[in-house]
Chain A
Amino acid sequence: MSKVVAATGNEAVANALRQVDPDVCAAYPITPQTELMQRFASFVSDGQVKTETILVESEHSAMSACVGAAAAGGRVVTATSSQGLALMWEILFIASGLRLPIVMPVVNRALSAPINIHGDHSDAMGARDSGWIQLWSENAQEAYDNTIQAFRIAEHMDTRLPVMICLDGFIISHSIERIEYLDDDEVKNFVGEYRQLNPLLNIEHPVSYGPLILTDYYMEYRKAHDEVMTKVPGIVLDVAKDFEKISGRKYSLFDAYRLEDAEVALVILNSAAGTSKDVVDEFRNRGVKAGLLKPRLYRPFPYKEIGEALKHLKAVCVLDRADAFGGSYGPVFIDIAASLYSYKEKPILINKIYGLGGRDYFPEHAALVLNELIEIVKTGEVKTFKEYIGVRQ
């Protein structure tokens, strides 16, 4: 039996963590993640979870403590945003390299300078190649559902990889939405008992973590990591199937919205996908074959599946809520372009940068882009391949 509540994204994710009741949580507060951890800390002090919380002096220490606790053999969580994720950067690679299944909600926020507390994706995009799995969430319900599924994905014995669950700062973390909570027992059964792999605290079988691996083996470990990432999409789909049985909610590697017979489409992550779907509906009502693709599993990126889903289109706009400085395109655009590279027939691709530092993304923006795609299909001409939208000249 599920329970329908009105809650913020942060509240929903904190509730998911309460239902999972992890062994250890080491965290440091940062806007807009603060409310999430504050709520979870209340569960700890109220005795609703048995979690050992470690209050640390920085995110670098938070992730370091998580690495230690996970290597010791515990089910470990933390959460962060923006500068906090940036400060963790060094340890992110250690967590994934040691194959520790840490679960971390990332409440997406812009990076400084200039300092800004609002939602954009530059924080998580900076960590996209750190060897972690990334699940992205359109709304509070998806953030809650992804958090619960993340434990099963992270702890799968064939992979053992850390997972970030990305949700938009303020837009999702602080807005109140209708959410369906699963029963505590259902969540406990779904995630199951934590299974250890080579725990440090097993004194019967002493093991060493973090040895020096030089020229003779480093490349083999990297190849093994690359290979283990290829197993992730299958696991994500299996876990989604099991999750559907208890929740009735369907999840996949990405959300293909009215895409099958579409001619033009938007590719967009997280909360702005919701706004865009409404506009896609409006265009459909006017007889325009519009569609949308919203990646969910962003790392590892399901290149093949996404390429297959987009290859029949005539024109596609990839909207990025982060830029990849260096004169290139936004990060999602680069991945989408790579996913279509091998096809002879493929859509014309353009890239828009939107919503940086929490700048509002309105339905008019989606309409503007869809109209531009229609024009591109009509004329076959592209005026600009990459452009900032919603920016003053």
Chain B
Amino acid sequence: MKLKGWRELTPGAVILEAGNAVEFKTGSWRAFKPIWKQENCIQCLFCWLFCPDMAVKVKDGKRADFDYEYCKGCGICALECPGKKGKKAIVMVEEGN
């Protein structure tokens, strides 16, 4: 994306397009990556509910995979995940490993 010059900016850095945070990809901030283990998932959708970045995708009412373009790796989903029989459906692994 071509960066704008100072003459092209909105006064006061006001953002005029609603919902344009979608253009700001925050996935590169991640140090730990959540991994979804479908076999342990009970479809409670807690991860979807708690994710502050809407990085948990849902398709046809069912849990889909993470959107890693926005997931910052905060780990809230992994913390909240009840899992199945003591086995988490979301685990955090260090990026780059």
- Which residues of A line the B interface, CB within 8 A? 97-100, 160, 197-198, 205-211, 213, 216-217, 219-221, 223-224, 227-228
Contacts and interface: CB of A to CB of B under 8 A. Distances in A.
Nearest to A228: B11
Given A220-B6, A223-B6, A224-B6, A197 B11 contact: yes
Interface residues of B, number: 14
B9 to A, nearest CB: 5
B14 A160 contact: no
A221 B10 CA distance: 9
B62 interface: no
B13 A97 contact: yes
B58 interface: no
B16 interface: yes
A99 B16 contact: no
Nearest to B3: A216
Contacts of B11: 99, 160, 197-198, 224, 228
B12 interface: yes
B4 interface: yes
B18 A217 contact: no
A224 B16 contact: no
Nearest to A198: B14
Specify which of B6, B9, B10, B15 lies most central, judged by the most chain A CB atoms within 10 Å of its CB.
B6
A97 B6 contact: no
Contact of B13 (A98, A223, A227, A228): A98
Contact of A99 (B5, B12, B15): B12
Majority secondary structure of chain A interface residues (helix, strand, loop or mixed)? loop
Contacts of A210: 13
Contact of A98 (B5, B12, B18): B12
Given A208-B14, A219-B6, A223-B6, 18 more contacts: A97-B13, A99-B11, A100-B12, A160-B11, A160-B12, A198-B12, A198-B16, A205-B18, A207-B14, A207-B15, A208-B18, A210-B13, A211-B13, A216-B3, A217-B13, A220-B4, A220-B9, A228-B11
Contacts of B7: 224
Contacts of B9: 217, 220-221, 224
A31 to B, nearest CB: 33
B16 A207 contact: yes
Nearest to A159: B11
A209 B14 contact: yes
11 contacts: A97-B12, A98-B14, A198-B11, A205-B16, A207-B14, A216-B3, A217-B4, A220-B6, A224-B6, A224-B9, A228-B11
6 pairs of A and B residues whose beta carbons are closest in the complex: A99-B12, A220-B6, A208-B15, A98-B12, A206-B18, A223-B6
Specify which of B7, B14, B15, B18 lies most central, judged by the most chain A CB atoms within 10 Å of its CB.
B14
A98 B13 CA distance: 7
